[in-house]
Amino acid sequence: KVDGHQVSTTPWKTENSYHEVVTPEIAQHYADKKVVSSETKQENVTEVVEYSPMGHIIPVDENNNPIPNVENPQYNNDPEDPTKGGKTEVPEIPGYTPEVTEVTPEDPGKDTPVVYTANEQKAEVVYIDADDGNKVIARSGVLTGKSGLHIDYSVDQVLTDLINRKYELVNNGFPADAKFDNDSDNDQIFKVIVKHDPSEVTQVETHTLTIHYVSTDGSDVPSDNIQVSTWKREAMTDLVTGEIHKVTPWVSDIKQYNSVNIPVIKGYYADIALVPSRNVEQKNIMITVTYRPLGHVIPVDEDGTTIPNVEKPQYTNDPEDPTKGGKTDVPEIPGYTPEVTEIVPGKSGEDTKVVYKTHTNPQENVKVTPTKDNNNNVKYVFAAENRVNQETAVNKDVLPQTGDKEENHATLVGAMLVAISSLLGLSLVDRKKDK
C-alpha cells in the first residue's frame, strides 16, 4: 500500500458474460449474420455484421428482354431472418400478365427476372374534318397487337385520297413509330386532322335578252335577236363541298340591253313595234314577237255582197310601224266605181269591205245591176241607156246625113238586141242553176 507494489494475485473472476445479439433488420438490406453469440472473454471484442442491398424483381418480356419504364421492386425483408429476402409481390404492369404474382428470393442479393406476357391491345386511326364539326370522315378499322409492339399501319394511302378530294392535312397524330400501349381497358385512338382546301376563283355567268320571232301561220320570220350580259364575281370556294364563301357582288359588263326595232315583214303585222332598252338582270329574259297576216280589201256591191272573181288585195305594210297596215289602193273593177280609192286599215288583221257602185258601160251602153233572187243567187240585170240625146248633143254641129243617121240608129238597136240576148242567156243560166 506504501509503494503500490503488487505482492500477490488471485485468478480473475466475473459474474457477467456478453449476451447473444440478434442482428437488427435494415429495410431492403440483408445481413451476413443472423445473431452474434454470447461469450465470456477477458478482452475487448468487436463483432462485425455486414449488410448488403437486397436484389430486385426484373420484369422481362417473353423474349427475356427487360420491359422498359416499369418498376423493378426490391425484395422485402424476411421478418424472421435478417439474412434473407422476404416474400415480395411482383409489380402490376398495364397491358401485361406476369407468370407469378410474388417472389421469395433464394439469394437475397441477386435479381430475379419475372416473365410478363403482353396482352392483346386495340388501336384505331380516325381522320377528322376540322371544317365540319370535327366529323370523322375515314377510319383505319380496328388494329390489334400486343402491348409495346409496333403498330403495322400507314396513313399515306388515306391521306393521298383525301388530298385528291381537296382536303389539306392539319396534323398527323399517328407517328411512324407508333406502338400499342399497355392500357387494356381503353383502346388507343390516333387522330389525323384535315381541313377543306379553299380556292379563290372568279365566277362567270352569262345571261341573255332574247327577242324571239314567230308567225301564226308558220311563215318565215327573222332569227332570234340575242343580247348577252356577262356577270363576274370573286368567290372563296370550298373545294370539298363546292360551297361558296366570302363572295363579292356580281357585276355585269353592261348596264343595259339595247332597244330593238321590230323588223317589218311584208304581208304581216307584229304585236309590238319596239322592245325598249332595259336594265340587265341576272336571269335569262325571253320576249316573243308574234307576226300575223295583214287583212285584205274586200270589194262588195251596194248590198254588201262580195263581188266574185275580183282581186282582194292584202294591205301594204306601214313602213314606219310594223304593227300596222299601211295605205292601200283599192282594186279597179270594170263596171264599178269604188266609194274610196284607198284605205288605211283600222285593225291590221281584219279585212275591210269597200263598197263598189255599178256604172254605165260606155262601150255597150248597158247598165249592169247585180240583184238577188229568192234563193240568194246573184243575177245581173242589164238595161240599155238612152244615148240618143247624148249623141244628138254630141253630133248637133254635124250636117244631117241620112245614111249616117240610119247607121247610128242601127248601131243602137243592135246594142240593145245584144243586151237583151245577154239578159236572156244569163237568165237561162241562172234558171238552170236554180234547178
Domain of 53: which CATH number?
Answer: 2.60.40
Residue, of 419 and 294, whose pLDDT is higher: 294
Query: How many structural domains is the chain composed of?
Result: 4
> At residue 290, does pLDDT exceed 80?
yes
Least confidently predicted of 161-165, 174-178, 400-404: 400-404
Verify that 227 and 186 share a domain, yes or no: no
Verify that 203 and 288 share a domain, yes or no: yes
Distance (Å, whole) CA 12 – CA 61: 67
Verify that 133 and 47 share a domain, yes or no: no
| Residue after which a domain boundary falls, among 117, 149, 172 | 117
| CATH number of the domain enclosing 227 | 2.60.40.4300
- The dihedrals phi and psi of 18, each to the nearest 5 degrees, come to -75, 130
**How many DSSP H helices and E strands does the chain contain?**
3, 34
Least confidently predicted of 19-23, 25-29, 298-302: 19-23
> At residue 340, does pLDDT exceed 90?
yes
Least confidently predicted of 58-62, 204-208, 216-220, 409-413: 409-413
Look at residue 331 and tell me if it is in a domain: no
Verify that 220 and 170 share a domain, yes or no: no
> At residue 196, does pLDDT exceed 90?
yes
pLDDT at 378: 45
Look at residue 315 and tell me if it is in a domain: no
Verify that 363 and 428 share a domain, yes or no: yes
User: In sequence order, what E strands does 140-240 have?
Assistant: 143-146, 167-172, 188-196, 198-215, 225-238
Pairing of strands 260-261, 274-275: antiparallel
Cβ within 8 Å of residue 211, ≥6 positions away: 224, 225, 226, 260, 262, 275, 287, 289
Q: Three cell numbers at 56? A: 430486385
Any bridge partners for residue 369, and if so which? 381
Look at residue 74 and tell me if it is in a domain: yes
Least confidently predicted of 103-117, 342-356, 365-379, 402-416: 402-416
| Residue after which a domain boundary falls, among 170, 196, 222 | 196
Percent of the chain whose pLDDT exceeds 90: 66
Distance (Å, whole) CA 313 – CA 295: 9
CB 225 within 8 A of CB 285: no
Q: What are the tens digits of pLDDT across the range 388-399?
A: 333 333 333 333
Verify that 286 and 227 share a domain, yes or no: yes
Q: Three cell numbers at 92? A: 402490376
pLDDT, the chain, mean: 85
> At residue 133, does pLDDT exceed 80?
yes
Look at residue 221 and tell me if it is in a domain: yes
Average pLDDT (367-386) is 49
> At residue 377, does pLDDT exceed 90?
no
Which residue has cell 377528322? 128
Look at residue 350 and tell me if it is in a domain: no
Q: What are the tens digits of pLDDT across the range 264-289?
A: 999 999 999 999 999 999 999 999 99
Distance (Å, whole) CA 47 – CA 392: 197
Instruction: Print the domain residue range for 237.
Output: 199-293
Look at residue 339 and tell me if it is in a domain: no
Verify that 136 and 219 share a domain, yes or no: no
> At residue 241, does pLDDT exceed 80?
yes
Max alpha carbon distance in the chain (Å)? 242
> At residue 160, does pLDDT exceed 90?
yes
| CATH number of the domain enclosing 184 | 3.10.20.470
> At residue 434, does pLDDT exceed 70?
no
- The dihedrals phi and psi of 211, each to the nearest 5 degrees, come to -100, 115
Q: What are the tens digits of pLDDT across the range 70-119?
A: 999 999 999 999 999 999 999 998 888 999 999 999 999 999 999 999 89
Percent of the chain whose pLDDT exceeds 70: 83
Cβ within 8 Å of residue 166, ≥6 positions away: 196, 197, 239, 240
pTM above threshold 0.85? no
| Residue after which a domain boundary falls, among 179, 196, 213 | 196
| 371 band by pLDDT with thresholds 50, 70 and 90 | low
Verify that 187 and 203 share a domain, yes or no: no
Closest CA to 65 of 162, 122, 149, 191: 149
Any bridge partners for residue 31, and if so which? 51
Verify that 147 and 204 share a domain, yes or no: no
> At residue 360, does pLDDT exceed 90?
no
Verify that 37 and 111 share a domain, yes or no: yes
Residue 148 backbone zone (phi > 0: left; psi -120 to 50: alpha; other: beta): left
Look at residue 298 and tell me if it is in a domain: no
Q: What are the tens digits of pLDDT across the range 310-328?
A: 999 999 999 999 999 999 9
Distance (Å, whole) CA 96 – CA 183: 9
Average pLDDT (135-139) is 96
Average pLDDT (139-158) is 94
